[in-house]
Amino acid sequence: MLIPRIAALATAATGSVPLNTLTISQTPNGFTGAARGWNSFGIQADGATDPTFVFDQAQVQQQCDVLASSGLTSLGYEVCSLDSGWSIGGNGDANGRIIADSSLFNMTDLASHLHSEGLQLGVYVIPGGFEADVNKTILDTDITIGSVCTGNNGLSRCNWNYGEDGVQQWHNSVVDLFAQWGVDFIKLDFITPGSPQNGATLPANESLAVVAYHNAISQSGRQMRLDISWKLARDPSDFEIWETNADSFRTDQDINNAGADSFTAWATVQRAIDNYRQYIVLHTEEDETLTIYPDMDNLFVANSAVLDGVTDDERFTIMSHWMGAASNLILGNDMTDIDATGTAILTNSEAHNVADFATQNPMRPRNPGTGLGDAQQLQAWIGGPNSTGNAFVILANYGPDQGSGGFGTSIAGVQNVTVSWSDLGISGSFSVRDVWQGQDLGTFNSALSASLDEGQSLLAVLTPVIA
């Protein structure tokens, strides 16, 4: 990792955009931090990254066992999440409930194995009942699925008629079965408004599926996270549904390179960061407390630069932004092939202190020179300050916009990124520490500056100095 050059500046910019309070409190299902762990989709969709991987119980356990054996569980990396393909795709059981493909997984045994290591089991679901199950009766009712579920969403599912008797009972029966297995995390995909059709014929508004799954979790007697996706609508009416029912929501589309021999690309990362920016600036114009965490999609920082598809500097930058956003930290890598840089990124205790801080104090953009929140190639972010005045700052040079960065500039090479206290909306003296380098940089009174190459960033903790 290149070491950014840091300098203190003597004066601050005049004028200031107010820095309102932005915090995150307990989510609807009772969580006070974003999920951390591993998800199978990256290695499933990018099969060339590990041609020997087979999506079955033995190899999933092998991947997730690394979370325990490497000590990552002590840093909160607990979720072992199965993505699409774990369940039978065309039909459910005798009551139309979602069930595992028994040729691949025994869910009770898998949950027991994971729980014995301090891990948690996650599953992937999509809205609707199975078209093949329309004549089956919903558990503990005399209601057939076909009487309350009609049409075709293009995913072999019919669309629930939410509000009709039987619909919530079906969701309850599914989540109760998950609870019996020992499921801890549900990823609910293809939610609208937001999700691209992606070959399906989704209803324009599938938001009530989120409500139904939340209600089912609440009555199940087992605490489970509900993560919803993908690139969901951010307008106030829809966001209120997400925020009052789910624990995290996807702010962007998939970040992985489907079918490629590397997991992601810097152009896609630029897009993901900008989509988080678009989301969070909607919540910066007044004091606000959120009750949901963003999900910027899977993290690809654990394998080599070649496999990850980004440089080592960019890997550190990705981790800084995902942590600073209080995003889910769900790895999508081949956990059996973590390199030295991946280990340094994943096990840095100071960085995880920032992630823990961000769970209540997520970062928002403060443009160098203006303090505004529009997209820029040379960007600054701040998380906090909290009630004791502590904060963290990220300075970044995203490099030339590769198509979806939002900023549209192409400034090449090493650049000086300078942000004043006025830009950040803070004042006073701060002791500043470079998190990734583990170095105290000194006391700064008015501004912070770093020389950053393309894709490079500085993650710094600011501690107020009391005179």
Q: How far is CA 138 from CA 101, 160, 290, in A?
A: 21, 13, 36
Would you say 294 and 276 are in contact if contact means Cβ atoms under 8 Å apart? yes
Residue 380 pLDDT? 98
The pTM of the full predicted model, rounded to 2 decimals, is 0.95
Q: Is pLDDT above 50 for 283?
A: yes
Encoding tokens for residue 436?
Answer: 């990734």
How would residue 258 be classed by pLDDT, with cut points 50, 70 and 90? confident
Tens of pLDDT, residue by residue over 197-255, are: 888 999 999 999 999 999 999 999 999 999 999 999 999 999 999 999 999 999 999 99
Count the Cβ atoms, other than its own, within 10 Å of residue 106: 13
Q: Is pLDDT above 60 for 257?
A: yes
Cβ neighbors of 12 (< 8 A, separation 6 or more) are: 420, 421, 422, 423, 446, 447
Q: Is pLDDT above 70 for 268?
A: yes
The answer to whether the bond into 385 is cis (omega within 30° of 0) is: yes
Q: Is pLDDT above 70 for 126?
A: yes
Cβ neighbors of 219 (< 8 A, separation 6 or more) are: 172, 175
Of the candidate ranges 44-48, 110-114, 366-370, 451-455, the one whose mean pLDDT is the lowest: 44-48
Beta bridge partners of 464: 430
Q: Give the start-to-end residue ranges of the domains of the chain.
A: 5-20+365-464, 27-362
Residue 11 pLDDT? 31
What is the mean predicted confidence (pLDDT) over 17-22?
96
**Closest C-alpha to 115, from 187, 183, 37:** 183
What is the mean predicted confidence (pLDDT) over 296-313?
97
Q: How far is CA 367 from CA 235, 270, 380, 396, in A?
A: 24, 16, 6, 11
CA 345 and chain centroid, separation: 17
Residue 10 pLDDT? 29
Instruction: Please provide the average confidence, as pLDDT, over all residues in the chain.
Output: 95
Residue 199 pLDDT? 86
Of the candidate ranges 15-19, 227-231, 289-293, 325-329, the one whose mean pLDDT is the lowest: 15-19
Indicate the CATH number of 5-20+365-464 among 1.10.3720.10, 2.40.40.20, 3.30.70.3270, 2.60.40.1180: 2.60.40.1180
Q: Is pLDDT above 90 for 185?
A: yes
Residue 5 pLDDT? 46
CATH T-level fold of 27-362: TIM Barrel (3.20.20)
How would residue 16 be classed by pLDDT, with cut points 50, 70 and 90? confident
Would you say 355 and 348 are in contact if contact means Cβ atoms under 8 Å apart? no
What is the mean predicted confidence (pLDDT) over 43-71?
94
What is the mean predicted confidence (pLDDT) over 110-114?
98
Q: Is pLDDT above 80 for 324?
A: yes
406 CB-contact burial (10 Å; exposed 0-12 / middle 13-18 / buried 19+): middle
How would residue 8 be classed by pLDDT, with cut points 50, 70 and 90? very low
How would residue 1 be classed by pLDDT, with cut points 50, 70 and 90? low
* 166 or 7, which is more confident: 166
Residue 6 pLDDT? 44
Q: Is pLDDT above 80 for 59?
A: yes
Point out the residues that are catalytic.
189, 254
Tens of pLDDT, residue by residue over 145-156, are: 999 999 999 999
What is the mean predicted confidence (pLDDT) over 189-193?
97
Beta bridge partners of 142: none
Q: What's the rounded Cα separation, in Å, for the pair 174 and 246?
A: 17
